[in-house]
Structure 1
């Protein structure tokens, strides 16, 4: 009976390919310039009864093509999810707002009730935000749950427009019924700086519904961090707070530590590369010690933290039974400090939870301490002039944007790839063309860097990243083997602990990419190598991997398949592990 159920589930997976109600053209690299180029897409949209989601990632959509697609969406009242990241590659910046306006107007006309709007990796700048301003304020977004605008080059101006739109949406939705209750907000690498972050903090505070905030690499200093801290206090269900690679200093870190005290649901705190310094780390340690009962991950790497402060942080996590990772790498512990920290974690039976300390900066000398005092004095002087400087910077940015727009009008040659913060080149290079050497060159921070690069809310992207990492696995090379396992574990732990992540879709995508399931969106399978199966065998033995997926994998691994047969011993070992895991569960 159980075998029949598994077989039925496997067949169902094989036929599904994509999420229910979803039409996908993801990653097909289509150049969609005009209405003729989208005739097939338009027909399929029109013929799709109960369309709920449309994936256009990895294509390039022009104004006329967008209008034609929009026309087809006008009758889709059940539409909910827009997966429209990376769909304007090589387009003029002037093309993007009208394209977005057309698509947004169609959704409003259809009376759609959106839950997901993903426009990440579209470097459209402030003008692109204007292109979705009308949509964001409309009833179509009253039900919005996830807003993803990662790596869009919004700048301060775009951040302010976005914040004002969210505030207006909340106001209008509350007047008509349940207010806007956004749960996931992603806006990393957008040059938001203090003013953009402060404006968004106001909208976060108003909504009070956020569960995940991701705003890494935005040039935010302590005034913006303090504003975000105030907003965090009013979001009691917050589970993930990622502000990696901004500049807290002690002032911002202490403000954030106070804000976190009453958050009982927080699971992941990523303040890596945030210069929290000893006082900030100590304040955060106190907060961790007194609360945060279900904390799973704390990242305070590369923050100029001293040995004493690092030990305080370690003491603070002593009773965190759900903790999975403590990252204090890249600080100023010195050799003795690293040993003391490792010994402390070992004494608490938590040694395996401590991330590598291989990039420790060494214990600072007296001269460095004097420099730190000078830095603190400079910080205070800078704070006095911060408002004036920010106004000047904003004026300069606006002037630059005006000049760019004028150049665009005169030459027509400005593309939608402004010099906004690019993706980390090393990680991007590895994930594009994986090799053992590239993985090792990422250094001790490789797992964190890969986590930041991969959108774990997207099951397909996570499966793709997993297979790329696994492809470089070398059984006979201890260093490469450990690097692969560390990276895979970090990626999948984060994925399976993310509420919006769908394990069912991850397994389905994995089977599609391995060529074991035929996909409706014509995904080209990878060349299966032994490393894929060897690493998968490791993964299915881990606690984070869902036991209900074991039987499905076992069913597919036992089927006749030429690509699997080429990995004989690795396949047999995986089958044995799957069989044992199913029996034990």
Structure 2
């Protein structure tokens, strides 16, 4: 986790000098404290960063003493401070450091990368407790948060019907499972100001994932369209969860990042999500729908959604094995409108020569595109010549990533067998492009009429 920065450094107490080390003893810690303070008054400090070093009890005690004098602190980064320490010592270190922050009105707390579990949550109680009225950002990533640990977090954040002030809530790469997801689902209704949610890589199964999706759909922040970033990757939403997420996405005009990677959406769920996004997320810059077991059957809906997200800088659809050339042709029909696109990922999608060539041709004029990932597809050896020629003509050959996993033994005969279907796909893609242009014209006309006085 990056250290807090300040243009002149006057408010920052930072022990993260970029050097990972074990800090043993009060004397060693005091030397770090003195250097970080650089003669400044303790009470001038508003932000602290202790990250990237591992402290023993003696060091933690010295740091806690210094923190106790920093009465103006509002932001605390205490991520990655117990690496390599035995559990008992690690818990005492966390308790000591958080004890030094007791009584502060904190707006941001980052305790990521501390492998804390439920015991660690309780060790951090002195810093976490009583912050409902001030805490706007909480980051607890890669902490080994089990279901019981998430329940402990819920109990610290939720009190009856009292709303939190949280705008950012990050839980990534934990071990929460369904129980932890359900605990999060109980937190969300109490977060009316939430704008940035990260709940990914937490091993949530279908029951927990659907619980989160349903809670999001009913969350005041969702119904009021507050979300800017939603990272919900690596959860098992399925079609039921996708339907609930679609309800959320229809209202998020300010959304800039959406990741539903590895969400088990399948075609039906992907169509629901894509239809919800179409025209509803004009500010979207990053969209990741990779690894969702999707086929070309959802490509039409995906293409229409993508066409309406003209500010996209990143589009991820890789590891959708059934997407194929049919899906690639549909997508190619709308890519020309994404003038800000920088990265396009379509690896391992079973795309053949026809789809690859269609994609290559569609990239002409996309001046911002610097990365094209198509590895792991099925472009025949002969087809690679036509593909790279088309890519060169579009001026994007340098954007192509490694192709060492491409199935160059794919049969041209198989491509010919698909030609009739894919020719129809190309015509449909052109029709969708014209439809998208017509929609844009209608939008422009509507906007223009809005300024005319009748």
Cα distance in 2 for partners of 1:29, 1:354 equals 33
Query: How far 1:321 moved relative to its partner?
Result: 3.2
Indicate the SS of the match to 1:305: coil
Structure number with the higher strand fraction is 2
Question: Do the aligned partners of residues 17 and 41 (structure 1) sit closer, same or farther apart at CA in structure 2, a change above 3 Å counting?
Answer: farther
Cα-to-partner distance string for 1:350-370 (whole Å, 9 max, x where unaligned): 69577232311469xxxxxxx
**Matching residue of 1:40:** 31
The corresponding residue for 1:230 is 214
C-alpha deviation, 1:206, in angstroms: 0.8
**SS at 1:360 equivalent:** coil
The residue aligned with 2:164 is 180
SS in 1 for 2:84: coil
Q: Does 1:82 align with 2:73?
A: no
Q: What residue is the counterpart of 1:142 in the other structure?
A: 133
Specify the alignment match of 1:287 in structure 2: 276
Q: Does the Cα contact within 8 Å between 1:338 and 1:357 map onto a contact in 2?
A: no
Deviations 1:231-258 (A, max 9, x none): 3232131111111122222222222112
What is the rounded CA distance, in whole Å, between the counterparts of 1:334 and 1:40 in structure 2? Answer: 58
Structure whose residues are more often helix by fraction: 1
Residue 21 of structure 1 deviates from its aligned partner by 0.8
Contact residue 310 and residue 338 of structure 2 kept, 8 A: no
- TM-superposition CA deviations, 1:384-428 (whole Å, max 9, x none): xxxxxxxxxxxxxxxxxxxxxxxxxxxxxxxxxxxxxxxxxxxxx
Q: Secondary structure at the match of 2:210?
A: helix
Cα distance in 2 between the residues matched to 1:160 and 1:51: 33
Paired residue total:
351
Q: Which residue of 2 aligns with 1:116?
A: 108
Give me the whole-angstrom Cα distance separating, in 2, the residues matched to 1:351 and 1:57.
Answer: 35
Q: What is the alpha-carbon distance in structure 2 between the residues aligned to residue 118 and residue 127 of structure 1?
A: 17
The 8 Å contact of residues 296 and 324 in structure 2, kept in 1 or not, is answered as: no
Q: Which runs of 5+ in 2 are unaligned?
A: 353-370, 377-395, 403-454
How far does residue 338 in structure 1 lie from its aligned partner after superposition? 4.2
Relative contact order (alpha carbons < 8 A, sep ≥ 6): 1 or 2 greater? 1
Counting only pairs closer than 5 Å after superposition, residues 171-570 of structure 1 correspond to structure 2 as 180-233=164-217, 234=219, 235=221, 236-289=225-278, 291-346=280-335, 348=337, 352=341, 355-361=344-350
CA contact (8 A) 1:98 1:131 kept: yes
Instruction: Please list the CA deviations of residues 17-44 of structure 1 after superposition, one character each: whole Å capped at 9, or x if unmatched.
Output: 7644112221333422322222223445
Once residues 133 and 92 of structure 2 are traced to their aligned partners in structure 1, the CA distance between those partners, rounded to angstroms, is: 22
Inter-partner Cα distance in structure 2 for 1:339 and 1:32 = 54
CA distance in 1, matches of 2:343, 2:303: 9
Distance 1:213 1:194 in 2: 18
**TM-score scaled to structure 2, two decimals?**
0.70
How far apart, in 1, do the equivalents of 2:323 and 2:250 lie? 30
1:22 and 2:16 equivalent? no
Task: Work out whether residues 175 and 203 of structure 2, in 8 Å CA contact, stay in contact via their aligned partners in 1.
Answer: yes
- Residue 223 of structure 1 contacts residue 252 of structure 1 at CA under 8 Å; is this kept in 2? no
Q: Is residue 59–residue 86 contact of structure 1 (8 Å, CA) maintained in 2?
A: yes
- Of 154-163 and 261-270, deviating more is 261-270
Q: Root-mean-square deviation (CA), in Å?
A: 3.1
Q: In 2, are the aligned partners of 1:221 and 1:252 still within 8 Å (CA)? A: no
Structure 2 residue 96 is matched with structure 1 residue 102:
yes
Indicate if the aligned counterparts of 1:142 and 1:180 stay in contact, CA closer than 8 A. Answer: yes
Return the offset for 1:333: 3.8
Whether the aligned pair in 1 keeps the contact of 2:295 and 2:327 (CA below 8 Å) is no
